[in-house]
Structure 1
Amino acid sequence: MPKIVDHDARREEIIEAVWRLVARRGFAALNMRDLAAEAGFTNGALARYFPTKAAILRAALERANAATEQRAARTIAGANGLNAFRKFCVEIMPLDDERLNEARVVIGFWNYAVADQELIGVYDQAISRWRDQMLSYLHTAAEAGEINPSCDLDAFLDLAMATLMGLQINAIFAARLTTPSRQLRILDGLIAGLQTGTS
């Protein structure tokens, strides 16, 4: 009887191996030979699942995005308004090893995908999805009177998203100045500005 292969499980094994290698060496050092060895595959077997480095990177980014969204869904649960907004931001921020590894994948993606419109589209879809969700929390907060009515929520969200992306970079390259406590202080300062109308 032919052996039954769980292709989804094998893809997941390969993505797990990508994450281990990225955590140890960064995405730039990743190559197909080392990935095959890490995952316990031959090069030929690996190519059946991920024929190019771009395909691997896309899968790694999609996993990072899914992990963020799953954590956020669990953490937010029945929360709304500013509380839900803050919880969502916290799940994006590189506050622990898991989220630092996600930041490493994202930064590797930026570097590799800069000239690849298909990969840029994958990133843009995720950011647009997150932005819409966060904006819905802000509108709920405004309706509940949690936010100063003079605040431009769209402009604030642009600032918040840029801050979150900056924290991902700084947590990797300037870790001493981007500790979890400092990151949270930055986030809480942004949110305080919404309440006073100074954002």
Structure 2
Amino acid sequence: MRQDGQVPRVVDHDERRRQIAEALLVVAARDGHESVTSRAVAKELGIATGSLWHYFDGFDDVIRAAAAEVTRRTDVRIEAATADLRGLPRLHAIMREVLPVDEGTRTEAHVVVGFWGRLATLASTPDAAAPTLATWQDSIREALGEAVTDGALRTDTPLDAVMALLRSITYGQQVVEVTEPQDAAAHLAVLDSILAPWRL
């Protein structure tokens, strides 16, 4: 108990880390990555810059946590969007959450593409790539397998090759959106062109 008789508020360490990561994402989306600094993140939260270091070892650590938060948000959206779906409908629902087809995913594309350069320059750590791993790739692979089972894709569909192409376009179309913005139909047309040779 404090001298003033009040019980100190217990701060959830993981939740505070997430709040800091989310603040970085807000700054990046609103002001651009060139404005992302420890001071800007602290100001967004209304705290002293030094308070960040109670939860992170350094600003590189904050950047990694913010990248991981983007991945977590995408996973949550995909889980909600794909409930009770399978096969091609499930695949399309997944891809609509990772391709830049609406205001939210377009903003996310700008944030994510900006992260790639920064993450590449960070000091190497055993799990340095972990924040940007596409954890939804397993879901895409399952959806493709379901589409074959359901007769929507040919039985000789090269699942590994199609999977690799889908992974490439998720990153590639984010870059396209940042450099040459497209409408949703254009991004989804790339998906359809990959699937077209194998549809039944």
Q: TM-score range by the shorter chain?
A: 0.7 to 0.9
CA distance in 2, matches of 1:55, 1:157: 31
**1:98-177 correspondence to structure 2 within 5 Å:** 98-115=104-121, 116-118=123-125, 120-123=128-131, 126-127=133-134, 129-175=135-181
String of CA shifts for 1:111-166, please: whole Å, max 9, x gaps: 01224443543146x32x32222111111211222112232111011111111111
Q: Distance in 2 between matches of 1:48 and 1:192?
A: 52
> Partner amino acid for 1:79?
L
Contact 1:28–1:108 (Cα < 8 Å) also in 2: no
Match of 1:190 in 2: 194
Write the letter of the residue equivalent to 2:193.
G
Which consecutive unaligned segments of at least 5 residues does structure 2 have?
A: 3-7
How many Å separate the matches in 1 of 2:16 and 2:185? Answer: 38
Q: Which residue of 2 aligns with 1:5?
A: 10
Unaligned 5+ runs, structure 1: none
Secondary structure of 2:153's counterpart equals: coil
Structure 1 residue 69: Cα displacement: 0.9
Higher helix share: 1
Amino acid across the alignment from 2:62 = I
TM-score by length of 2: 0.86
* SS class of match (1:145): coil
Aligned pair in 2 of structure 1 residues 5, 40: CA closer, same or farther (>3 Å)?
farther
Q: Is the 8 A contact 1:19 1:101 kept in 2?
A: no
Structure whose CA Rg is larger: 2
Matches of 1:6 and 1:157, distance apart in 2: 42
Aligned residues: 192
**Offset of residue 49 of structure 1:** 1.8
Please name the residue that 1:55 is paired with: 61
Provide the C-alpha distance between the structure 1 equivalents of 2:72 and 2:99, rounded to a whole number of angstroms. 15
3-state SS of paired residue (1:114): helix
- Tell me the CA shift for residue 59 of structure 1: 1.3
Pairing partner for 1:64 from 70, 94, 104: 70
1:65-98 C-alpha deviation (Å, 9 max, x unpaired): 1111111111110111111111111111122232
Provide, for residues 39-81 of structure 1, a one-character-per-residue CA deviation record: whole Å limited to 9, x for no partner. 1110111221233222111111111111111111111101111
CA gap of 1:59–1:123, structure 2 versus 1, over 3 A, is closer
Q: Shift in Å at residue 38 of structure 1?
A: 1.4
Q: Is the contact between residue 144 and residue 159 of structure 2 (CA under 8 Å) also seen in structure 1?
A: yes
What CA distance in whole angstroms lies between the structure 2 residues aligned with 1:131 and 1:16?
A: 24
Aligned-pair identity in percent equals 27
Aligned counterpart, 2:92: 86
In the TM superposition, residue 9 of structure 1 has moved relative to its aligned partner by 4.0
